[in-house]
Structure 1
């Protein structure tokens, strides 16, 4: 075949053209391979060219899986289910484990392969974290962080490079379950002496449920998913503070097939979710336990199934497509 560029090059250069074209083809082919792999959620962990053998060696890792090459053994064999069980019912725990194992329709991961993120540490970390490939925990109660870090399960996962915790100090005194001190939510029965109750409303014992300093400091906690270098999580558990805000914050870190678990849904919330919460503009909580979870979930997710007070969601396809078009 005649080389149309032959008159423009010297014989020496012309003789070198096949080799240069070969190198060019290899480079272009490699770039195309990298682009294809990246589009499918993979990133090159290492690229090495061996000049002596004129070969290109690539090793791949799923996006956000930096450090997988150093993963140690699984830690599910050290799980102390009697001491470190999650604060969930048996049905709720079984539902979490089912999805973590990828034993649901449309799953793209298998047992021990999921990237798991949780807001709120404790029994969920020990029980569910040991069933994931890597676990990422967000917590804000500093003293509780230290206790959880000392558990055999989390110690094992940390040594195996399978667990990372972001412990955020909001700089505020906390009550049980990480509520700010004096959060103002009272679940006590109505006092017998209503007049005495009214007279005490302005007393020091009655505190506002809104703490500007605490709310502002917790922005870092809500936005924590971006701290771990993970492109997308497979399974997410929202079980800490500011759950509506966390639901919005996790959107950029979800795949189409990712699942989001949201704990402590009341019957009121689930009923409100059924009523097309997307058109609700304002409302007053019907009871102290009515957290209006549906106001975020109804705008972002599609309900998949429930077990007691645990709800499983997938991102609304329209919301996901909009997020992708804005990326």
Structure 2
């Protein structure tokens, strides 16, 4: 009888090792895949905690990685193929899928209202529905916002009413694009920025 119990125990232990992904393993799996420098990634992570509700414009491995450090995560994507890729990864990750409350696609294709190349930032007219998707979540306040998608200046302005004095907005590629400085001219004050890698800036309400 003892031998039978021992065998069962060993089977359970080995099953968990092979098939049950731990929180730490899940975190490490996506860390290096986030398209940011290590410094940028670590700075954002430093400002996250498990009480936060977070919004993201522009999904990716950042969605899978940063969601693990907050309580609830909402993400908006415009590229249908990329959306399907990330959605598949989310659906196959019990840890991540329990935190991501809504991941929505607002499809915008090259050529739509003059958005020609599929690479440029786009504007408020071309990405109107994408920018305004924040209103569909029925969330009163976001503690953290990561803007790493299209029409970033307009996305920053549209989220204004969902923030409080403790909320922080992160804008990726900030110092690489001069017109992103418009973000700090109206509603927001910059609290820090990096100058290496793709660059990153963080803002609070004025």
Q: TM-score, normalised by structure 2?
A: 0.76
Aligned to 1:32: none
Q: Determine helix, strand or coil for the equivalent of 2:170.
A: strand
Q: By how many angstroms is 1:91 displaced?
A: 0.8
1:241 is aligned to 2:150: yes
**Partner Cα separation in structure 1 for residue 23 and residue 92 of structure 2:** 8
Q: Which digits, 9 at most, give the CA deviation of each residue in 1:94-138, with x for residues without a partner?
A: 11000013xxxxxxxxxx111011101012101111111010001
Structure 1 gaps of 5+ residues are 1-73, 102-111, 175-179, 186-208, 267-288, 317-327
Structure 2 gaps of 5+ residues are 1-21
**Partner Cα separation in structure 1 for residue 186 and residue 124 of structure 2:** 22
Q: Which digits, 9 at most, give the CA deviation of each residue in 1:54-109, with x for residues without a partner?
A: xxxxxxxxxxxxxxxxxxxx9564235367621111111111000013xxxxxxxx
Q: Determine helix, strand or coil for the equivalent of 1:297.
A: helix
Q: By how many angstroms is 1:182 displaced?
A: 2.7
**Partner Cα separation in structure 2 for residue 225 and residue 184 of structure 1:** 22
Aligned to 2:44: 96
Decide whether aligned partners of structure 1 residues 127 and 184 sit closer, same or farther in structure 2, where only a CA change above 3 A counts. closer
Q: By how many angstroms is 1:298 displaced?
A: 2.0
Q: By how many angstroms is 1:164 displaced?
A: 1.3
Aligned residues: 179
8 Å contact from structure 1 (residues 154, 163) kept in 2: no
8 Å contact from structure 2 (residues 169, 203) kept in 1: yes
Q: By how many angstroms is 1:303 displaced?
A: 1.1
**Partner Cα separation in structure 1 for residue 133 and residue 78 of structure 2:** 11
* Aligned counterpart for 2:73 among listed residues 126, 135, 152: 135
Q: Determine helix, strand or coil for the equivalent of 1:260.
A: strand
Decide whether aligned partners of structure 1 residues 169 and 304 sit closer, same or farther in structure 2, where only a CA change above 3 A counts. same
**Partner Cα separation in structure 1 for residue 31 and residue 205 of structure 2:** 34
Q: By how many angstroms is 1:159 displaced?
A: 4.4
After TM superposition, the runs of 4+ consecutive aligned structure 1 residues lying more than 6 A away are: none
Q: Which has the larger radius of gyration?
A: 1
**Partner Cα separation in structure 1 for residue 110 and residue 32 of structure 2:** 25
Q: Root-mean-square deviation (CA), in Å?
A: 2.8
Bigger RCO (CA 8 Å, 6+ sep): 2
**Partner Cα separation in structure 1 for residue 39 and residue 61 of structure 2:** 15
**Partner Cα separation in structure 2 for residue 245 and residue 92 of structure 1:** 22
**Partner Cα separation in structure 1 for residue 62 and residue 47 of structure 2:** 14
Q: TM-score, normalised by structure 1?
A: 0.49
Q: Determine helix, strand or coil for the equivalent of 2:167.
A: strand
**Partner Cα separation in structure 1 for residue 133 and residue 32 of structure 2:** 24
